[in-house]
Every structure is written in structure tokens, then in C-alpha cells.
Structure 1
Amino acid sequence: MTGVFDYAPSDTTAVMSRAIRRAVALIESSFAQPVSLATLAATAGLSVSRFATLFRKEVGISPHRYVCMVRIRHAKRLLRDGVPPCEVAAEVGFFDQSHLGRHFRRAVGVTPGHFTSCPSREEAA
């Protein structure tokens, strides 16, 4: 399954403004912590509405979806390493395992449990 969560930030960094690159860097470095739209906008030096519009225009998805995508990317890595889903959820910033499961299934197409049990995890990704 391909989609928004296959997005690689390095693909578009050349076309991102400095303000958006700063916000993306903050998300990438602190994805497991709650980060508000206001904090991201302040990091970018923009108003909240201008930031949200510019982020979507330059990155292609909303800031919230981008944060979820980064969390899912890290969750996949941890699951491949054998970390139990309940620990992965807390490690990457989801509220609980159910929250991880909903976002993971929406992004990857399978549950975290199926992802870990699949012999070829790349096929499930």
C-alpha cells in the first residue's frame, strides 16, 4: 500500500522554505512529544493560519498528518526490532496501543500485530 505515509521529507527539502524546514526539523526531533500547531507556527515564525496553509502547500499534507507519519515510520522500525506494540505506542507518542493501532492500520494497511507476524514485513508495509 502506498500513500501519504510513504512520503520522504528529503524528497522536497529543496522546495521547502526555511520556515517550514525549521518546523519539519522540530517534528522530526521531538515527534514523541505533544507538539501544538501554535508551537510549530512560532518555530516557523508565522501565524498559525499562515503556517498551516504554507505547510500543506509545501509538504503536501497537514502538520498533524505529518506528525502521525513520522510516528508511524518510527513505530515500524521499533516493531521490526521486536518491541511490543504497547511499548511502541508510548515510545513514539501515541496515547495508547489502540491509538497506535488505528493510525498504523490507516497508514500501513495492517495492524501492528499483523505487521510483526508477517514473514516479510516489507510486504506488509
Structure 2
Amino acid sequence: MRRKENSTRRIWGRKSLSGMDFLTATNFPSSRDALHLHHGYTISLVEEGVLPMDFKGFKLNLKPGDFLILGPDVPHSFDFSAKDLGDCSYRTVFIKEEHLSVGLKAVLVNESSAISSFRDKAMWENYLSIQKGIEAGSKSDISVIISVSEKLLTHMPDFVLSRMPVKSPHIVTVKEYIKENFASAPSIEELANIVHISPFYLMRLFKEEVGLSPHAYINQLRINKAKEMIEKGTPLLQITYELGFTDQSHFSKTFLKITGVNPAHYELLHL
């Protein structure tokens, strides 16, 4: 059965879980067909249907009972090419790197570009139940989500399907510069001068290595920072100008394209 064109997408959280965000979604918003990254590690599962993932040509169909764990440097998208996709409901937990325990950081030290997947139906049912409990306001589920998520992340090195590391020293240098200066939205010419190559070559090499253009990568980091600022109660207008967006409309459109929700909804749901 062909999937329905309508989709719902909700990003939410709890104040007591400042290191985590949650996504609950049905079907695939059109903005998700472009390669994108997430802030920190992600743990995804499908409640119903099939979630068709594409990692720059490496494809994976996620089904109920499966876990998909991605590092923060893994560009990915949905694959819409199949003709027989029905409806799909799925969930993702976003875990910020800075909130991981010291021990877990050591386990994941080489996994930022890793794609891992494994199947464990009992653990899947438990993790799904915990997320639903947190969504409903269960305090007991809030108290265990961190430990269960960290347990899942410890499995990541054992079930790596592929890695997508950046190999070019030029791009490593440019990425580090962008991470320190994304709010100023450095131009392609500025970035090229840092590593002494042409803007054209940098554009091509960056897209090959990272999966995104430099401009798209900068916007990804700006929106990641915007989400943190929203969680702290920073007004949207202040976020707009502190992160270098032209105006609030520009900020809102960029936020919607990258997250699938507009910033006002993200602000309301993050309770």
C-alpha cells in the first residue's frame, strides 16, 4: 500500500532531561528527503511500517524490533524510491554528546561517524514503553530513560554496519573552524582561504566528505544552537540575530527545513 502524503512530526522533551530531545513522527515530511545531521547521538525505532534510510547510497530499512544508532557526523535521509511503502510511525531519541557519561564517551570515542543497527525485540518493547511513558508524564520512566539509553549506546561499537569518516585534512580543519564560527556564517571564500584551496574545490570536497554543502552544514549547527537557546527560554527574535539570520522569517524557514517543525511549535512542545 502506498503511504499517505500527510505527515505529523512532534519534537518534545522534559525539563528534567535537558540532554535529550524526542521525536514522534508518522510518515515523512518532504523536507526530510535531503541529507541532514543531528546534534549528538540518535537512537531510532519504528513502531509500525518500514523506515527507509539512505546514507549517501548505503541503504537500510528499519522495522519494528530494530534499533538504529547514528553518530553525530552521519549524514542521512529517507529513501522515497520504493513504490509500495505504507504508513510508518517512528521515534528518535536525540542525546547530546556533552551529556554523556565519561565512561560512555570513552566507549564511543571512535563512533561519531558510525551507523549501527541491531535487533532485540524485548529491549525494543521496553524502550518504546519508556518513551510513551515519558510522553505521558511518567516520573518513573523519566528516571530510567538515561540509563537505558546509555546501555543501548554501549552496544553501538558491536553492531557497526558502516562508517562515514572525514578523511581530508582540509575538511577536518574547515569543520573545526565552522564549529567555532558558525554564528557569523563564514563565506565559502573565507573557508577556502583557511586551507589555501579554491572555493570551487572546497565546495566539491566538502560535499563529498561531509555529505552537505558548507552552507548547509553551517545552518545545521546554527539550528542545533537555536534549539539549545529555545530550551533556555531565549526569545526567538534574540536567537535570530545572535545566530546571524537575516530576519525571523529566514530563521523560521531554516528551522522548519532542518527539523521538520517551526521554532514556535518546538518552543511550545518542549515542556
Aligned with residue 263 of structure 2, among 98, 109, 112: 112
Flag the structure with higher strand content: 2
One-letter amino acid of the structure 1 residue matched with residue 213 of structure 2: S
Q: Does 1:80 align with 2:231?
A: yes
Residue 61 (1) aligns with residue 93 (2): no
- 1:4 equivalent in alignment to 2:36: yes
- For residues 229 and 171 of structure 2, the distance between their equivalents in structure 1, rounded to whole angstroms, comes to 27
Flag the structure with more relative contact order, 1 or 2, with Cα contacts below 8 A and sequence separation at least 6: 1
| Range that drifts further, 1-10 or 75-84 | 1-10
Tell me whether 1:20 sits opposite 2:171 in the alignment. yes
Q: CA deviation at 1:65?
A: 0.4
Map Cα deviations across residues 52-103 of structure 1 (whole Å, 9 max, x no partner).
Answer: 1100000001111001101001001101111011111111121121111000
Shift of the alpha carbon at 1:44? 2.1
Cα shift at 1:47: 0.8
Size of the aligned set, in residue pairs, is: 120
Asked whether the equivalents of residues 13 and 21 of structure 1 are also in contact (C-alpha less than 8 Å), the reply is: no
Q: CA deviation at 1:13?
A: 8.3
Per the normalisation by structure 2, the TM-score is 0.41
Q: CA RMSD in A?
A: 2.0
Alignment equivalent of 2:251, drawn from 86, 91, 100 = 100
Structure 2 residue matching 1:21: 3-state secondary structure: helix
- State the secondary structure of the residue aligned to 1:30: helix
Correspondence for 1:123: none
Aligned counterparts of 2:226 and 2:257: Cα–Cα separation in 1: 14
Deviation readout 1:30-59 (Å, 9 max, x if unpaired):
111131101111112211111111000000
The yes-or-no answer on 1:36 pairing with 2:187 is yes
For 1:94 and 1:119, how far apart are their aligned partners in 2? 22
For 1:48, the equivalent position in structure 2 comes to 199
* Greater displacement, 27-36 / 65-74: 27-36
Q: Do the aligned residues in 1 keep the contact of 2:231 with 2:270 (CA within 8 Å)?
A: no
The structure in which a higher percent of residues are helix is 1
Conserved in 2, the CA contact under 8 Å of 1:86 and 1:97?
A: yes
| Residue pair 1:23, 1:43 contacting (<8 A) in 2 also | yes
- Any unmatched runs of 5+ in structure 1? 121-125
Preserved contact between residue 23 and residue 40 of structure 1 (Cα < 8 Å): yes
Q: Normalising by the residue count of structure 1, what TM-score does the alignment of the two structures yield?
A: 0.86
CA 1:85–1:14: 2 relative to 1, 3 Å: same
Larger Rg: 2
Counterpart amino acid of residue 176 in structure 2 = A
